Amino acid sequence: MQIQNDIQTLHNYEAFARFMQMIHELREETIAELHEASNDNLQQVSGRIITYDQILQLSNWGQLSKKHSERM
């Protein structure tokens, strides 16, 4: 699949790692929001967390963060 090859190529760039780190931080901030969300907003906040999770999984964040850990 082409997108997987593209993401693997992006793993070579520190700028991509910093961008994905920002996505990870946004996910963590949104998880914190979840604790304060009203019942009406609970589904919306949960949806944002799921979206961030999907992006992090697609980018293979675990591998990417290890590869660039010294520079981030």
Question: For residue 42, what pLDDT band results from cuts at 50, 70 and 90?
Answer: very high
Q: Is residue 72 domain-resident?
A: no
Question: For residue 1, what pLDDT band results from cuts at 50, 70 and 90?
Answer: confident
pTM of this prediction? 0.88
Q: Is residue 56 domain-resident?
A: yes
- Residues 14 and 29: their CA atoms lie apart, in Å, by 23
User: pLDDT for 7-40, tens place per residue?
Assistant: 999 999 999 999 999 999 999 999 999 999 999 9
Quick one: pLDDT at residue 71? 76
Domain of 43 in residue numbering reads as 2-67
Q: Is residue 6 domain-resident?
A: yes
Q: Is residue 35 domain-resident?
A: yes
Is it the case that residue 3 has pLDDT exceeding 90?
yes
Domains in the chain, number:
1
Q: Is residue 17 domain-resident?
A: yes
Cα-only R_g, the chain = 14
